Chain A
């Protein structure tokens, strides 16, 4: 699919603005676990470098930079650009309602882990 001009529309879950991509900053993959001192090389590598980069369902970090300044998370399909939902960043894993919605829309989806 041609997505040369990245012009996603994502609703900020904090302030409710349907922000276009130029009002946002990308923060790449969401739900990464930080590994600090004491972690193994493998753990650190996974934290720092290993990214899923899926064609399909993906969880991402976005910051409403030109708006309320808050970071939020988005679940979307990288292939069709369908957005399953956005949610606040202060969670360890995607909310249940978004998981349900993704399962309904993508029955073959293997889960976010």
Chain B
């Protein structure tokens, strides 16, 4: 059994006992424990089930590479699935439950998959669920969905908050082991701005566990001194619990800081996502130990050798009383020695190498440990826990020589540098024969904006696998990085670690090398996704020669651990199966994030009220108080209608239309874009921008204008007012202001930069109110302050003045067909002005109206709306707007585009009105059917509806739409398809349904 040792544990505080629960069981641990350490201390080796076969799974590793020990953490608003116990810091009251099993962890019915595993080979899903086709939806998918997925998706709103922050530095050091700390010391002493990130809560990495001695001191002491020195440097920032997730263009790095994971609910943000811009990045991310592939290597109790050592030294946890060490390198001996020194039994060291030699081997021998050289493991025995190992000749086929009783196996297949961050932005790898691993190729680094190296690797992450080599490498790499940043490294001696002479490792990818297919089908490569050696070999036999294809076919490396343990072993097996060298097979692509980043951190502050900016007009508060039902228009919120008690939205809209047409309506039109264009060349400029002529507009007058893009398609419309000799004010659509302002600046800056024109977007300077209806003038006259008579202020004129004491600019324009004034007042007076209009308008039957009533009224008048009648493929001529296009101008934006033959052709769909024969409303988006079918068997169409409403004024459905040669077909009856199937008949009519002569607006 696994248990807590009586002594030791460099990271735990035995004075601070903590209580936590696992599957409801109350357990004890200490401050400083990881959840995995505390579980092992409570003999909870079995922690989960695998994804596909539901095999029992135990803790394998002690860091972020852990593939098995994932749990549901917390509950309710703090439930998080798939949390790695090996990096979860224990806190008092922690609740964890195991996942991926039913009904319980110990007795899981899904394990039946295990017994039929020979019927579930690689690509099983691809091969099986193809036929019959109808089975997918009704049989296969529901069953797969039921059993798929790791963990439970939380259902409650996240109780925690998250945030993001920007940081800048000259050198970003990723990894707070001895290499990272040494690199930071070098850069910090040179005066560089340094940011050091460490994913764990503690500094120093492996060295203190491995018993290294640096400058004559134990590694732990050297680390403490280095951290203290760095903390004393003005330009250095240290950040623990912060995982660098990804490296992106030009030194951009995302890092996830687990601010309060270990202290939930203490008021701090749970995570903080750092957006870092670094001049250079030094990755001192260390290396990850590889498992060995032998039969039964997934049985709980089989662990990585260095992780076993971590549990013993860091947390005083023994994974078992008797641990067999199996290795292909000298590092495995450190575990055997550490176990023995902790008073635990090591029945044997099974070494695949024929004649191991080196300092560590000698020490193990001196301790009297049994070394089985040239041997391998034929099979691990046990179910939910290891009971023994059968050993065999590594060179043979697995004939059992001996069986050794044990309750844990510590395996070491060598080490792989963590090259993820190096690779994210294009850094290339080379194959290191000596250590049988990929490491960064310094000749092909990822590049920065200056063409130089963006990332340098140092220490074990760069293939410098021993403490002495790592420190020398870190010093050299940091000095070079600092010099490349244009700074001068201070002369200082690199710290010296005592060298430990290690014998060469031997690449062992399968144990024993001649294993039978039966053994290979019990050798796990990817624990989480249940991919075995036999699966990769099958994929190779079936022609999946590319590593990227094999990955997807077998799902190797596609689990939440992204193959940190499995990828290299899988590649090696594939290379052997293909009879190729490993570097030739290559690696799959390393993509961010290095370990999963919670969605909360990626969203940061952008949730709830500040999920996205919501633009409010000065009258927004009034609208809210008066029950407005809002609709989004771009980022604006505009009242759609103002329903009264007991009214549906539709009823409210009808009331608002009728009231505006018969009495008085007020519309908050503040969102309309307003752009000032001024200068000696402003008229010339606007003549290029608009299809019509604006330079001839008299001062004091307004003119409707259309803007097209260079392809000729209609892009925006609005009323332009001539303010003075040199100044125009251009109204744009709501939501179009920024786009049109940018469009103007583009032409002024990049094409006609010698034209003397300035623009300013003054949209938000003004609150604008449309005062509309037969009583509009009466209201303004009551407010008083300026002459708003037909003579003083005729249709399509504007004037400055005051109304009711408010400074204002009044435009006589109409989008409803009624007598209408659009009045702009400074935004700071907008709310008061709006209220003054309501107060004074009571006797004239004033009511506010919303955007839907506006739409209905403009449709009754046949006015087009950008975004309804246009969709980016419509030219003004399609909409019968030829009158607004100058024939005289030699050029305007879009003119050449409109001359293209398919746009100039008479065969276009053109705007007409429609009235259904039965008075009903044509469905939104309906198409007009034509005879015949296209090549795909779809029915032909000859047009579509663009605006369709019930007209409360005319008491019937009205619509506008585009119809093939529409204006030539007045009186024809066409058929629109409907949502329910079938069609509705409508007559082609003039699109102006109401007050065709325009008498009402011109009074």
Contacts and interface: CB of A to CB of B under 8 A. Distances in A.
Touch between chains A and B, by CB atoms below 8 Å: yes
Interface of A: 1-9, 20-21, 25, 27, 34-39, 41, 44, 47-48, 61, 63, 65, 69-71, 80-83, 89-90, 105
**Chain A CB within 10 A, most for which of B451, B745, B751, B895:** B451
A90 B426 contact: no
Contact of A9 (B449, B451, B749): B449
B606 interface: no
B746 A37 contact: no
Given A81-B249, A83-B449, A9 B591 contact: no
B896 A36 contact: yes
A81 B250 contact: yes
Given A20-B277, A71-B746, A89-B749, A8 B896 contact: no
A71 B895 CA distance: 24
Contacts of B749: 70-71, 89-90
B710 interface: yes
Contacts of B591: 2, 4
Contacts of A80: 426, 447, 451
B753 interface: yes
Q: Which 8 A-B pairs have the closest CB atoms?
A: A7-B252, A1-B426, A5-B248, A82-B451, A9-B250, A83-B449, A90-B753, A7-B249
Given A7-B252, A25-B742, A105 B449 contact: no
Contacts of B447: 80-82
A7 B424 contact: no
A37 B248 contact: no
A17 to B, nearest CB: 13
Contact of B450 (A2, A48, A82): A82
Contacts of B890: 37
B896 A7 contact: no
Given A37-B896, A41-B900, A82-B448, 13 more contacts: A2-B426, A5-B252, A7-B252, A8-B250, A21-B249, A36-B895, A36-B896, A61-B750, A65-B742, A80-B447, A80-B451, A82-B447, A82-B451
A73 B447 CA distance: 21
17 contacts: A3-B249, A4-B248, A5-B249, A7-B252, A20-B277, A21-B249, A37-B891, A37-B896, A39-B896, A61-B750, A69-B745, A71-B746, A80-B426, A81-B447, A83-B450, A89-B749, A89-B753
Contacts of B319: none
Given A81-B449, A82-B449, A2 B424 contact: yes
Given A7-B249, A20-B252, A81-B249, A37 B899 contact: yes
Contact of A2 (B451, B589, B753): B589
B277 to A, nearest CB: 7
Contacts of B451: 80, 82, 105
A36 B891 contact: yes
A71 B249 contact: no
A34 B750 CA distance: 11
A25 B710 CA distance: 19
A96 to B, nearest CB: 20
Contacts of A37: 890-891, 895-896, 899
A6 B710 contact: no
**Chain A CB within 10 A, most for which of B249, B277, B425, B447:** B249
Interface residues of B, number: 35
Contacts of A21: 249
Interface of A, secondary structure class, is loop
Given A8-B249, A44-B896, A71 B745 contact: yes
B269 to A, nearest CB: 21
A34 B893 CA distance: 10
Given A80-B451, A90-B749, A48 B711 contact: yes
Nearest to B250: A9
Interface string B228-259: 00000000000000000010111110100000
Contacts of B426: 1-2, 80
Contact of A63 (B592, B742, B895): B742
A92 B512 CA distance: 70
A89 to B, nearest CB: 5
Contacts of A90: 749-750, 753
B923 interface: no
Nearest to A105: B451
A15 to B, nearest CB: 14
B454 to A, nearest CB: 9
Interface in B677-733: 710-711
B897 interface: yes
A42 B254 CA distance: 46
A37 B897 CA distance: 8
A48 to B, nearest CB: 6
Contacts of B753: 89-90
B855 to A, nearest CB: 31
A63 B738 CA distance: 13
A107 to B, nearest CB: 13
Contacts of B252: 5, 7, 9, 20
Nearest to B895: A37
A105 B589 CA distance: 28
Contacts of A41: 900
A69 B745 CA distance: 8
Nearest to B749: A71
A37 B591 CA distance: 49
Nearest to A7: B252
Contacts of B895: 36-37
Contacts of B592: 4-5
B601 to A, nearest CB: 15
B750 A9 contact: no
Interface in B898-942: 899-900
Contacts of A6: 249
A60 to B, nearest CB: 12
**Chain A CB within 10 A, most for which of B248, B450, B897:** B248
Contacts of A82: 447-451
B891 A71 contact: no
Contacts of B254: 5
Contacts of A20: 252, 277
A6 B591 CA distance: 14
B345 to A, nearest CB: 48
Interface string B331-345: 000000000000000
A103 B753 CA distance: 29
A5 B746 contact: no
Contacts of A44: 896-897, 900
**Chain A CB within 10 A, most for which of B250, B451, B746:** B250
A27 B746 contact: yes
A21 B589 CA distance: 25
Nearest to B249: A7
Interface string B868-912: 000000000000000000000011000111011000000000000
A19 to B, nearest CB: 11
Contacts of B711: 48
A56 B750 CA distance: 24
A41 B249 CA distance: 39
Nearest to B452: A82
A54 to B, nearest CB: 17
Contacts of B250: 7-9, 81
A24 to B, nearest CB: 12
A89 B749 CA distance: 7
